[in-house]
Amino acid sequence: MAAPPPGRPGTAPAALDRTKLLAARYRAATDRPYLASALYALTVVESHDVPTMGVDRHWRCYASPAFVAATPVAELAAVWVHEAAHLLRDHHDRAGRLPAADQRDRYRVNVAQDCEINDDLLADGLPLPAGRVEPRRYGLPEGRLFEEYVTGLPPEVRAHDCGSGAHGHRSPWDLTGPGGPARIGTTEAQALRRATAEAMRAHLRGRGTLPGGWRRWAEQVLEPVVDWRRALAGAVREAAAWAGGAVDYTYRRPSRRSAALRGVVLPSLRRPLPRVAVVVDTSGSMGDAELAAAMAEITGVLREVGVRGNRVTVLACDADVHAVSRVTSADQVELGGGGGTDLRVGIGAALARRDRPDVVVVLTDGMTPWPDREPSGCRVVVALIGPYAPEPPGWAETVRVPLPDGA
């Protein structure tokens, strides 16, 4: 945050001025009441080892008596917000998901995290102490996450240590063990993050303002963005595993137990590979962007199902089925249509095929009627393309697919 004030040689360490430190926290909570719950959840710990102020992952705030004595209350209030931001933004857990080479340089990670926080705090008018870290100091753009800043920082960058609540590594002043000051667990920390995000949303509804980084953080906490590619892949994989888990008896390869029964041929169990049908909506409501997203997902379906040969069939359908193709790659797909929409025809045609599918994947913008009931013996996965696609029936497994950027 800032360089620690120099001490006087030969003098005993001064005691922490708790009145001043707590007055600064009160000021921070009063000026920004949506942060009050997080600020007052922090337990103060006096430390002569911490350079300025720092936090551990248990929501304990370590304060240097010399730093508190030398820093004005207004700047101390800004430092309170800065340290609380490390914990609210879950920096210690996020740091643990960095590549191993980046994790090892705790100081570099700490600087990147300070860049993420401080551009928001400065935009909010908080008077951070001199020597603060800012993205522009390193020629980096504002408004990014620390994971992006890490790779853009010079290799020799160094800053003071904000503690394990930031970079995730134990600092010399960290208290460990069951005793000592109060500690907050993971569940309570998540509740604090959600309560703070809800307070920020209420603040915005009351015509208040927030920096962009805090707005994005609150939206992510209250409405986390699901990785739709992972969700779609998981839905298709699970449906295929369900179909592949079915077993049947076959005499094509007699059971090995037949040798024990002279003159009797026993059937063996067979685990069939799933067959998949992909119904692509090619109606007039599907524009170029929607069709491009659908075609991209056919490749994903082929990859995730993991079947070989001709076990995937693609049907292009609007109000009628225009093309049926057995494919092993998306470039083999033929799309036709452009009229009205009735995907009941496409789903019905897929189920009526001689090689009846075990899984039907429907790629559509949702502007279609649906079958009255769930098809028997078949799983249906619907990829809804676009932000305004209406929901399909409850018996279908649904994943929402956003349009490509710029569409």
Q: Which domains does the chain have, with CATH numbers?
A: 18-222 (no CATH), 228-246+272-401 (3.40.50.410)
State the pLDDT at residue 256.
65
Residues 6+ apart with CB under 8 A from 89: 113, 116, 117, 217
Name the nearest CA neighbour of 341 among 372, 366, 323, 359.
366
Beta bridge partners, 314, equal: 278, 325
State the pLDDT at residue 266.
65
| DSSP-assigned letter for residue 90 | T
DSSP-derived pairing of the beta strands 321-326 and 60-63: unpaired
Q: Is 348 in contact with 317 (CB distance < 8 Å)? A: no
Alpha-carbon distance of 45 to 61, in angstroms, equals 6
Spell out where 16-118 has E strands: 43-46, 53-55, 60-63
Q: How far from 135 is each of 81, 113, 122, 152, CA to CA, in Å?
A: 18, 10, 11, 10
Alpha-carbon distance of 1 to 314, in angstroms, equals 58
Q: pLDDT truncated to tens, each residue of the chain (407 aa)?
A: 655 555 454 455 688 999 999 999 999 999 999 999 999 999 999 999 999 999 998 999 999 999 999 999 999 999 999 999 999 999 998 888 888 777 788 888 999 999 999 989 988 899 988 888 888 888 888 888 888 888 888 878 877 789 999 998 888 888 865 566 778 888 899 999 999 999 999 998 888 888 888 988 988 888 765 565 666 666 676 666 665 555 555 556 666 666 666 666 666 655 556 788 888 888 766 666 656 666 666 666 556 555 555 667 888 888 788 777 765 555 555 666 666 778 899 999 999 988 888 888 888 888 889 998 888 888 888 888 876 678 888 888 888 877 655 45
State the pLDDT at residue 187.
87
Residues composing the chain: 407
Q: What is the pTM of this model?
A: 0.58
Name the nearest CA neighbour of 44 among 180, 166, 139.
180
Alpha-carbon distance of 32 to 88, in angstroms, equals 15
Task: Please tell me whether residue 379 adopts helix, strand or coil conformation.
Answer: strand
Q: Is 174 in contact with 140 (CB distance < 8 Å)? A: no
Name the nearest CA neighbour of 240 among 397, 384, 352.
397
